[in-house]
């Protein structure tokens, strides 16, 4: 015998539940890695991705970096060279070409670099920011070409070159072609040195591997954000190799400053002021200028 349908429980109640159901965005809150504090996402974003209270510095995208640094949040994008997208036809769990496609869709960038030309504190500068969200900011042919193009732009404009480094190292999918970017970028830095143009590096979390072993540690001045991991091989690899426990804070920005590898650890909110002051001293420019004009950008 079929039981009669209870129209109150089977019809009315589900409709009432649906009527008052609210969708909660997945990224509404951000959890502080240090304290476990839950902070409203928009509040963290407005604070340049620094957790209020604990001051923990979260990773920051390349676009947001440039917007934070350039006056009025405006700049002129430096066109980056195109390279062979998959020179080795590499495949591991999936094709390298597919990984590139996914990273481009996720970040809106062609590769792990974004470079802009504009004014910072009134001074003309070329700023390069690595995008960690693009395959961990890894150094491949496109990233190497981008860094070199940024240096060439600084040479053409006679401006300082400022790099925000964030990388997991060389891109294994490009093999020796990736490793060759280390000497290429080093030559670009030497050209800046020969032209007596400042090259300032801001080491952010994390800066590791082949990037640390090349252009990220060749600056005239090395700044670092608080708590940033800066190393060649990570602490876990070193501990497994030497079979010893490493000191607390080993390879973090504050430890490297104490041991002479970093000149200054600077809070993200103070970076623009600090870089403007350093570039003014190194270029002997005392006064801020007007926004970059079309003739300067040409």
Q: Which helix (H) or strand (E) holds 141?
A: helix 141-157
3-state helix, strand, coil in the chain (%, to 5): 40, 20, 40
Below-70 pLDDT ranges, the chain: 1-26, 285-298
> Residue 167 to residues 33, 131, 209: CA-CA distances in angstroms?
20, 8, 8
pLDDT per residue over 26-75, tens digit each? 678 999 999 998 999 999 999 999 999 899 999 999 999 999 999 999 99
According to the model, what pLDDT value does residue 287 have?
44
The dihedral over CA atoms of 212, 213, 215, 221, expressed in degrees to the nearest 10, equals 60
End-to-end CA distance of the chain: 85
Task: Please state whether beta strands 161-167 and 199-207 pair in parallel, antiparallel, or not at all (unpaired).
Answer: parallel
224 strand-pairing partners: 203, 265
Q: What is the predicted pLDDT for the residue at 71?
A: 97
Residue 56 backbone dihedrals phi, psi, to 5 degrees: -65, 130
pTM attached to this predicted model? 0.86
DSSP-assigned beta bridge partners for residue 170: 139
């Amino acid at each position: 015998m079929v039981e009669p349908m209870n129209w109150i429980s089977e019809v009315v109640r589900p409709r009432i539940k649906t009527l008052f159901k609210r969708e909660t965005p997945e990224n509404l809150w951000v959890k502080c890695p240090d304290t476990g504090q839950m902070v409203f996402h928009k509040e963290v974003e407005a604070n340049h991705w620094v957790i209020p209270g604990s001051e923990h510095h979260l990773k920051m995208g390349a676009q947001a970096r440039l917007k934070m640094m350039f006056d009025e949040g405006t700049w002129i994008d430096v066109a980056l060279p195109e390279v062979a997208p998959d020179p080795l036809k590499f495949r591991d769990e999936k094709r390298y070409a597919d990984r590139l496609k996914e990273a481009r869709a996720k970040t809106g960038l062609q590769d792990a670099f974004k470079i802009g030309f504009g004014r910072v504190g009134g001074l003309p500068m070329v700023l390069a920011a690595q995008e960690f969200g693009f395959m961990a900011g890894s150094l491949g042919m496109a990233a190497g070409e981008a860094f070199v193009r940024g240096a060439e732009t600084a040479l053409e404009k006679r401006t300082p070159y400022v790099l925000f480094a964030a990388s997991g190292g060389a891109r294994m999918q490009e093999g020796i072609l990736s490793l060759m970017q280390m000497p290429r970028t080093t030559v670009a830095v030497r050209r800046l040195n020969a032209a007596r143009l400042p090259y300032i590096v801001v080491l952010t979390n994390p800066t590791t591997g082949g990037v640390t072993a090349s252009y990220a540690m060749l600056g005239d001045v090395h700044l670092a954000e608080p708590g940033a991991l800066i190393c060649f091989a990570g602490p876990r690899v070193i501990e497994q190799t030497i079979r010893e426990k490493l000191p607390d804070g080993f390879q973090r920005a504050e430890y490297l400053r104490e041991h002479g590898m970093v000149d200054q650890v600077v809070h993200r909110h103070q970076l623009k002021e600090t870089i403007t002051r350093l570039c003014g001293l190194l270029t002997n420019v005392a006064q801020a200028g007007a926004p970059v004009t079309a003739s300067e950008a040409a």
